[in-house]
A and B are shown apart, each in its own frame.
Chain A
């Protein structure tokens, strides 16, 4: 793991995207596939499950370093990161176990870390102590992060994708596709990441990268002739991809989480679809002809195996709005109108819980503002505008797909800082700061402290205490992991904020557990709303 340690150090040292990209490319070029596979795994934000709890880590640190527990606590208070505190408290190994003796990254993970999960407490401790005795300080820090399931390296999945695409000499969209879904850190899957275009296939469960609409800030007539555009309601549910291949149904969220088992009625309805079908759509709570509020759908998200009562209270459907694959053929390069025609045919074979929705008819652009204004009454978020000839692209690309939401504006932000609230909420972490992506950084754009339910506040409070990265007085920075949808009333430029923008009345709309950090919005998305 010597190379991985060096990579971590160079990524940690710079805030410049190009320097990070260079370091990543150099690493992937030199690393053995078995190690590089794990590097991809960690760098793209996947994590092992927590194998050692924070209390254990504290106790073991005291025992290992021979320091009294209170001094370990004082040190932690000072450093602000438990994994780092431990790494700093243990003496450096002697020259006999210099960096030359460092284990390979894949050996460490596969032979030393993963087996911890099946071990008795004493054996786990002995195994961890053995690593602590051997690993020098940075390697020990990374090891501690891995066993506590908290290793994050400060690069975005997009940047890792770019580095791998550069090395493979393929379009980043293809690399993004290869990385989708349940990517396994094996040398084989790493090698297939680097194949040339046209080589290699995908696992049958691999989803396509989602194509995301950009917020429309100019009036729609600037898009050109209305006849070239299709309007759809923007549904307020969970964006999902339904895969029917090899006689199996797989449901993916936009955050690349498998939703299998959570929506049995949709899976059941999809069983009629022919093999080699992939549908893009929105999971909605739905009764008869009417969409139900998102809060009802929320009762379904956390349930791995919903009971009869839950199914009855919040029945779900998939609104299919695009077809990405038919008869095993990748349709994404085909124009939207062609994909939609095929979609209508394909969906015939499914049960009623997989359904299409009609386009919103409009003759000219003048008809649209009134339709958009009716969104709230219809239980939708606004309108989608899609060019009828648009291909299905990768990620957020401006030009062919737009979302035209009703006010209030909303965006998806990443929880970055938290501090205790006042009065009734004092003692709980209830004041949050949210950030969006800017280049390769997360830049804070909004503070908000209302909008969550008490149970969510409690859950988040516990999570924050266990995942604090640094402390600045009462403020804690946390690992960027949770995404929230925030609503706000207005936006203006601001010199006082690092982000360069100020939002009016930001508040939390909801916790987007279905989104990963990479899915959060970009600063540029917000900047474009200025002057809207």
Chain B
């Protein structure tokens, strides 16, 4: 028989009764452990925040500093209530952690978001043994396997070169936190041109730069002189800018999108981008499985995304696995 659950879905995240804290709650709570600063994990309004030391500046940019933020070094345990908590790097974005909770009822690990592919902007995922592994499952189907980041960076560089040869702006859509900085860092190994930024990217790029992440030089599109047509220039913009009037600044542009979803042809075609580049800050299917095995877990619970397939697959392999829907906990409480 399994010991009682150390964590339960609550407030859109996970509640730990023994430690009286929530991990990544979507509603305000007394005490939150925040794995990373993406909006589906970090929300303002809670009483107290515990997070990785590295994450402090990024988190402050996203949710402000109204409540006390407690920074913890990776690998150094701290006690909350009756449990002992340790944060380890998750390799997802700068400052992202996974959470280990040790208790009398065993050791649980909560992934937040994570990936196993190399990323010059953040510390690599560090596995540690747990009894129960709660894994994100954003790309939880075997059709999701990532090409090597080096190959995708080459594709992006080729595309940028083609745009330059044709005198067209190269507008690259990507998430403003994590992906944009990862691209600027990857590209800085092959180029030294200044890249133009949508205004929404600015604070996060600044935060990364201040933290010492090496990236290509950047300028805001709004600072460009009137009449500049950005021919052959690379512009980074969040997906929300696609189709907006802001795009009129880039006549004749070619539009690319960097995301794991671009793995599927239908997604590429439906969204109407000229180019889709398959690069993700999440684990692909092989990495999800590899991590289950690296953590040595006896039981796996899938959270975030559609985890039924991964849980079913693990059960087929005679593992204890189930899928939890954290969002559903928002309705009840």
By a beta-carbon cutoff of 8 Å, the part of chain A in contact with chain B is 12-15, 65, 67-68, 70-71, 74-75, 78-81, 84-85, 88-89, 91-92, 141, 470
- Tell me if B38 is interfacial: C-beta within 8 Å of chain A: no
B-side interface residues, number (CB < 8 Å)? 20
CA–CA, A75 and B140, complex, Å: 10
Interface digits, B40-77 against A, CB 8 Å rule (1 contact, 0 not)?
00000000000000000000000000000000000000
Question: Is B266 within 8 A of A67, CB to CB?
Answer: no
> Mask for B259-274, Cβ within 8 A of A = 1, else 0?
0000111101110101
- Identify the closest chain A residue to B309 (Cβ): A74
The answer on a CB contact under 8 Å between B142 and A71 is: yes
Contact across chains for B145 and A71 when beta carbons are under 8 A apart: no
Task: Please tell me if the beta carbons of B141 and A78 are within 8 angstroms of each other in the complex.
Answer: yes
Q: Is B143 an interface residue (CB 8 A)?
A: yes
Partner of A85 from the list B143, B145, B312 (CB cut-off 8 Å) is B143
A80, B266: Cβ atoms under 8 Å?
yes
The answer to whether the Cβ of B192 comes within 8 Å of any Cβ in the partner chain is no
Q: Across the interface, do B264 and A13 meet the contact criterion of CB distance under 8 Å?
A: no
Set of chain A residues within 8 Å of B210, measured between Cβ atoms: none
Q: A14-B274, A68-B313, A70-B312 are in contact. Are A75 and B266 (CB under 8 A)?
A: no
B170 to chain A, nearest CB (A): 14
What chain B residues lie within 8 Å of A79 (beta carbons)?
143, 264, 266
SS of A interface (majority): helix
User: In the bound complex, how far is the Cα of B265 from the Cα of A78, in angstroms?
Assistant: 12
Contact of B141 among A13, A74, A92, A470 (CB under 8 A): A74
Shortest distance from the beta carbon of A478 to any chain B beta carbon, whole Å: 13
Is the CB of B249 closer than 8 A to any CB of chain A? no
> Which residue of A65, A71, A84, A92 contacts B264 across the interface (Cβ within 8 Å)?
A84
Closest beta carbon of chain B to A377's beta carbon, Å: 49
Contact B142 A65 (CB under 8 A): yes
Contact B265 A75 (CB under 8 A): no
Interface string of B306-318 (1 = CB under 8 A from A): 0001001100100
Q: Would B274 and A67 count as touching, CB distance under 8 A? A: no
The answer to whether A71 and B312 have CB atoms under 8 Å apart is yes
Question: Are B143 and A78 touching (Cβ within 8 A)?
Answer: yes
Known interface pairs A68-B316, A71-B309, A71-B312; A91-B145 also in contact (CB < 8 Å)? yes
Contact between chains at A81 and B143 (CB < 8 Å): no
Q: Would you give the shortest CB distance from B284 to chain A, in whole angstroms?
A: 11
User: Smallest distance from the beta carbon of A98 to chain B beta carbons, Å?
Assistant: 11
A17 CA to B272 CA, complexed, in Å: 15
CB<8 Å pairs between A and B, sample of 23:
A12-B265, A12-B268, A13-B274, A67-B142, A67-B313, A68-B313, A70-B312, A71-B142, A74-B141, A74-B309, A75-B141, A75-B142, A75-B143, A75-B309, A79-B143, A79-B264, A81-B266, A84-B264, A88-B143, A88-B263, A141-B265, A470-B266, A470-B270
With A15-B272, A88-B144 already in contact, 19 other A-B pairs whose C-beta atoms are closer than 8 Å: A12-B269, A13-B274, A14-B274, A67-B142, A68-B313, A71-B141, A71-B309, A74-B141, A75-B141, A78-B141, A79-B143, A79-B264, A81-B265, A81-B266, A84-B264, A84-B265, A88-B143, A88-B263, A470-B270
Residue numbers in A under 8 Å from B316 (CB-CB): 68
A89 and B143 contact, CB distance less than 8 A: yes
Q: Note all chain A residues with C-beta closer than 8 A to B274.
A: 13-14
- Measured between beta carbons, the chain A residues less than 8 angstroms from B264 are 78-79, 84, 88
Interface residues of B in 102-159 (CB under 8 A from A): 141-145, 147
Within 8 Å CB of A88, what residues of B? 143-145, 263-264
A15 to B270, CA, bound (A): 12
List residues of B whose CB falls within 8 A of some A CB.
Answer: 141-145, 147, 263-266, 268-270, 272, 274-275, 309, 312-313, 316
- How far, in whole Å, are A275 and B2 apart by their CA atoms in the complex? 89
Q: Which 8 pairs, one residue from A and one from B, show the smallest C-beta to C-beta distance?
A: A88-B143, A470-B266, A75-B143, A74-B309, A75-B141, A80-B266, A89-B142, A79-B264
Docked complex Cα distance between A74 and B147 (Å): 22
Q: Which residues of chain B have C-beta atoms less than 8 A from A70's C-beta?
A: 312
Which chain A residues lie closer than 8 Å to B275 at the CB level?
13
Q: Give A354 Cβ to nearest chain B Cβ, in Å.
A: 48
Bound Cα distance from A88 to B142, whole angstroms? 8
User: Which interface residue of A70, A71, A84 has the most chain B CB atoms within 10 A?
Assistant: A71
- Chain B nearest Cβ from A2, distance in angstroms: 15
Q: A299 CA to B148 CA in the complex, in Å?
A: 58
CA distance A75 to B274 in the complex (A): 25
How many Å from the CB of B212 to the closest CB on chain A?
A: 34
Q: How far is the CA of A12 from the CA of B309 in the complex (A)?
A: 30
Cα–Cα distance between A67 and B142 once the two chains are bound (Å) = 9
In the bound complex, how far is the Cα of B268 from the Cα of A12, in angstroms?
A: 9
Distance from B68 Cβ to chain A, minimum over Cβ atoms (Å)? 43
Max chain B C-beta neighbours (<10 A), residue from A88, A92, A141: A88
Q: How far is the CB of B205 from chain A (nearest CB, A)?
A: 28
Name the residue on A nearest B310 (C-beta): A71
User: Which residues of chain B come closer than 8 Å to A89, judged between CB atoms?
Assistant: 142-143
User: Quick one: closest A residue to B263, CB to CB?
Assistant: A88
- A residues less than 8 Å from B268 (CB atoms): 12
CA A310 – CA B313 in complex, angstroms? 57
Q: List B contacts of A67 (CB < 8 A).
A: 142, 313
A496: shortest Cβ distance to chain B, in Å?
A: 18
User: Which residue on A lies nearest to B264, using beta carbons?
Assistant: A79
A237 CA / B309 CA spacing, docked (Å):
53
In the bound complex, what is the Cα–Cα distance between A84 and B266 (angstroms)?
10
Q: Which of B142, B147, B275, B309 has the most chain A CB within a 10 Å cutoff?
A: B142
For the complex, give the distance between the alpha carbons of A74 and B307 in Å: 12
Closest to A14 in B: B274
A3 to chain B, nearest CB (A): 16
Q: Which residue in chain A gives the minimum CB-CB distance to B265?
A: A84
Minimum distance in angstroms from A62 CB to a CB of chain B: 11
What's the least CB distance linking A35 to chain B, in Å?
23
Measured CB to CB, the closest approach of chain A to B312, in angstroms, equals 7
Q: How far is the CA of A85 from the CA of B264 in the complex (A)?
A: 9
**For the complex, what is the distance from the CA of A71 to the CA of B306, rounded to whole Å?**
13
On chain A, the residues within 8 Å of B266 by CB distance are 79-81, 84, 470
Give bound CA distance, A84 to B143, whole Å: 9
B273 to chain A, nearest CB (A): 9
Distance in angstroms from B277 CB to nearest chain A CB is: 12
Q: How far is the CB of A477 from chain B (nearest CB, A)?
A: 9
